[in-house]
């Protein structure tokens, strides 16, 4: 038997960043049965149209993304996910998947039983509320992405995506602050921003030329957070990072 406490600690960490939990809440989470899985890059975790699987995946390491295809065949990435994120909350109570979820890198997940998680959401109200909040924050991020692809020009748009990636990495405690490993090809960046890979390339070069970012291979760093976030029109309000710190009402 695996050590539940160690494996599911990212889940507790995530939920505690959403709502205050007590010892019993934590114990109930640690008691969840789960299995470990590894996915290769581009592997599908969820396919649009299918009935939801019997499991809910928690990302332990690596990256994943949500994606939809248009009838013409073009692809829009609608969100990115990293360690600590729950991938199936968006389908927890729905009878059919409305989008695809794919591994971006090699991805390790802990798969919790879906009905156990559904039960937990009602049996432990504080945990249920934390799950609600997590799903609502995902929805907030979707709204910001609508703004990003709908209103911002290429430079601002790419910069905004990088800022979100950095802010969420920092919040999740991934890597060291200020340096980020961007696990996406320029084509994938294009699919996430509604640009072509060619234009993403030119845009990244332009951002580097004015000193806003530094690139070496897939490693990315910012000259100054102040600079890049101003260029991106980025405000982290929509990530609700301080949610659990404020008195719940």
Partner DNA sequence: CGAAAACTTGACCCAACTCAACGAACGTGG
Partner DNA sequence: CCACGTTCGTTGAGTTGGGTCAAGTTTTCG
Query: 217 vs 247, which CB is nearer to DNA?
Result: 217
Q: Are 15 and 129 in contact (CB under 8 A)?
A: no
- Write down the least CB distance from residue 41 to DNA, Å: 8
152 binds a copy of itself, rule: CB under 8 A: yes
Rg, C-alpha atoms of the chain: 18
194 binds a copy of itself, rule: CB under 8 A: yes
Query: 18 vs 26, which CB is nearer to a copy of itself?
Result: 18
Query: 68 vs 205, which CB is nearer to a copy of itself?
Result: 68
- Write down the least CB distance from residue 84 to a copy of itself, Å: 19
| Number of chain residues interacting with a copy of itself (CB under 8 A) | 61
Half-sphere exposure of 34 (CA within 13 A, CB side): 27
Q: Which of 218, 93, 197 is nearest to 154 (CA)?
A: 197
Residues 10-69 that bind a copy of itself (CB under 8 A): 19, 48-49, 51-52, 66, 68
Query: 59 vs 195, which CB is nearer to DNA?
Result: 195
Q: Which of 228, 157, 163 is nearest to 196 (CA)?
A: 157
**Would you mind telling me the total number of residues written for the chain in this entry?**
249
- Write down the least CB distance from residue 212 to a copy of itself, Å: 16
Gap between the Cα atoms of 180 and 174, Å rounded: 9
Report phi then psi at 214, rounded to 5: -120, 135
171 binds a copy of itself, rule: CB under 8 A: no
Report phi then psi at 57, rounded to 5: -95, 135
Contacts of residue 159, defined as CB under 8 A and 6 or more positions apart, other chains included, come to 207, 212, 228, 231, 232, 234
241 binds a copy of itself, rule: CB under 8 A: no
Q: Are 22 and 46 in contact (CB under 8 A)?
A: no
Q: Which of 39, 149, 158 is nearest to 101 (CA)?
A: 39
Gap between the Cα atoms of 16 and 145, Å rounded: 25
Could you list the residues that contact DNA (CB under 7 A)? 153-155, 157, 185-187, 194-199, 201-202, 204-205, 215, 217-218
> Residue 48 touches which of DNA, a copy of itself, none (CB < 5 to 8 A by kind)?
a copy of itself
Binding site for a copy of itself (CB under 8 A): 19, 48-49, 51-52, 66, 68, 70-72, 74-76, 78-79, 90-96, 98-99, 114-115, 121-122, 125, 128-129, 132-133, 135-140, 142-147, 149-152, 193-194, 233, 237-238, 240, 242-243, 246-249
């Amino acid at each position: 038997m695996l050590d539940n406490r160690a494996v599911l600690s990212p889940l507790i960490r995530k939920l505690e960043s959403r709502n205050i939990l007590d010892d019993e809440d934590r114990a109930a989470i640690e008691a969840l049965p789960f299995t470990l899985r590894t996915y290769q890059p581009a592997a599908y975790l969820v396919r649009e149209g299918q009935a939801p699987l019997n499991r809910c995946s928690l990302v332990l390491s690596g990256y994943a993304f949500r994606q939809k295809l248009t009838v013409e065949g073009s692809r829009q990435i609608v969100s990115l996910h990293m360690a600590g994120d729950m991938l199936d909350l968006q389908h927890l109570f729905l009878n059919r998947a409305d989008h695809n979820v794919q591994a971006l890198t090699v991805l390790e997940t802990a798969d919790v039983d879906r009905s156990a998680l559904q039960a937990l959401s009602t049996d432990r109200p504080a945990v249920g509320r934390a799950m609600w909040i997590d799903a609502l924050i995902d929805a907030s991020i979707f709204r910001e992405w609508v703004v990003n692809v709908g209103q911002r020009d290429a430079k601002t748009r790419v910069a905004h995506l990088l800022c979100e990636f950095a802010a969420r990495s920092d919040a999740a405690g991934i890597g060291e602050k200020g340096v980020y490993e961007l696990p996406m090809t320029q084509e994938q960046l294009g699919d996430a921003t509604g640009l072509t890979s060619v234009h993403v390339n030119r845009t990244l070069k332009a951002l580097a030329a004015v000193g806003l970012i530094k690139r070496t291979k897939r490693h990315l760093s910012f000259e100054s957070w102040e600079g890049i976030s101003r260029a991106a029109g980025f405000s982290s309000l929509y990530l609700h990072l301080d949610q659990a710190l404020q008195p719940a009402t």
